[in-house]
Amino acid sequence: MNYRFEHGRRYHGFKDESYFFPNDDQESDRLDMYHHIMVMRMDNQLHLAPIGPNPQRILDLGTGTGIWAIDMGDKYPSAEILGNDLSPIQPSLVPPNVKFEVDDVENTWVYSSKFDYIHSRYMTCSLKDWPKLMRQAYQFTKPGGWVEFQDFDLIFYTSSNGEFKKGDPIDAWISRIASGLEKFGLEPHPGPKLENWVKEAGFINIEAKTLPIPTGTWPKDKKLKEIGAFDLIQFLDNLEGLTLRIYAAAYGWTPEEVKVLCAQLRKDFNNPKNRIQHNFYIVYGQKPLDA
């Protein structure tokens, strides 16, 4: 809990160069909003893997605010659910079958027993060695058990008739974030690579989905319009938090320079003619029964 404070924001203190985004209340609100966005995009489901009605042990990697683990605890009272994260920002009032621990999932795992289901979500920009994570997930999944990885890349693109193009301010901003994270060995684009990593780890019965998430209210579909509205809000309200630390560490930008950039970015995010979206990737697989 020895947090760091920089540029008016709070950051975790454990493994200082593992995560470049804040862990304060403002960021927690953003993460909870993103939980809502992802669940809505999955047709109000918490997971897609067919884990059955009575799973016994569930592990949530990088649990963040713990909101997914808490919702799963309510949905599956049969299960013991463990969530881990670098920051102890989770609430203390949780269902009796939900527990949290501070841990770095990139360290060697030391769990005493295996899990029926291992879940990882929204870990883009947070990990250096995804294949190792997959191998450890395979090791600690029970034969016949499931893993599910839900993640992103940092690439925006437009619908068929949008005006957004490569080199625009939003594209330049997110490309710099990706390049900055790569300087520190972090993977900014895990989403499209998940399926192959899961396969290489040894899982079978793999299913993969790619779900576009709009940013803004430009879609005609009612549900996508609502998702896009939430996605736009979380970007507009948190551009400085997403940008400050990595731009300072990788490029030497000052907070004042970042504020000027974010003012320009808000104009572009609010331009309905851009019709921007980004992809949400979901991959789940099963450990062979004879493993």
Q: How many domains does the chain have?
A: 1
Q: Which domain holds residue 22?
A: 4-287
So what's the pLDDT on residue 161? 87
So what's the pLDDT on residue 17? 67
pLDDT band at 187 (very low <50, low <70, confident <90, very high): very high
| Residue 185 neighbours by CB distance under 10 Å | 11
Residue range 192-196: mean pLDDT, rounded: 98
Three-state secondary structure along 40-73?
Answer: HHCCCCCCCCCCCCCCCEEEEECCCCCHHHHHHH
pLDDT band at 16 (very low <50, low <70, confident <90, very high): low
pTM confidence score = 0.95
pLDDT tens-digit profile of 51-100? 999 999 999 999 999 999 999 999 999 999 999 999 999 999 999 999 99
So what's the pLDDT on residue 7? 85
Q: Which residues contact 110 (CB under 8 A, 6 or more apart)?
A: none
Structure tokens at 273: 């003619």
Q: Which residues contact 8 (CB under 8 A, 6 or more apart)?
A: 255
pLDDT tens-digit profile of 102-145? 999 999 999 999 999 999 999 999 999 999 999 999 999 999 99
Asked whether the beta carbons of 122 and 38 are under 8 A apart, the reply is: yes
So what's the pLDDT on residue 13? 81
Residue 14 has pLDDT above 90, yes or no: no
Residue range 22-28: mean pLDDT, rounded: 93
So what's the pLDDT on residue 160? 75
3-state DSSP assignment of residue 182: helix
pLDDT band at 168 (very low <50, low <70, confident <90, very high): very high
16 vs 8: which has the higher pLDDT: 8
Q: How far apart are CA 133 and CA 143, in angstroms?
A: 18
CA 20 to centroid of chain Cα atoms: 13
Question: Angle, to 10 degrees, between the axis of helix 222-251 and the axis of helix 169-183?
Answer: 50
3-state DSSP assignment of residue 127: coil
Distances (CA, A) of 80 to 27, 56, 83, 85, 140: 27, 6, 10, 17, 15
pLDDT tens-digit profile of 198-257? 999 999 999 999 999 999 999 999 999 999 999 999 999 999 999 999 999 999 999 999
* CATH code of the domain covering residue 47: 3.40.50.150
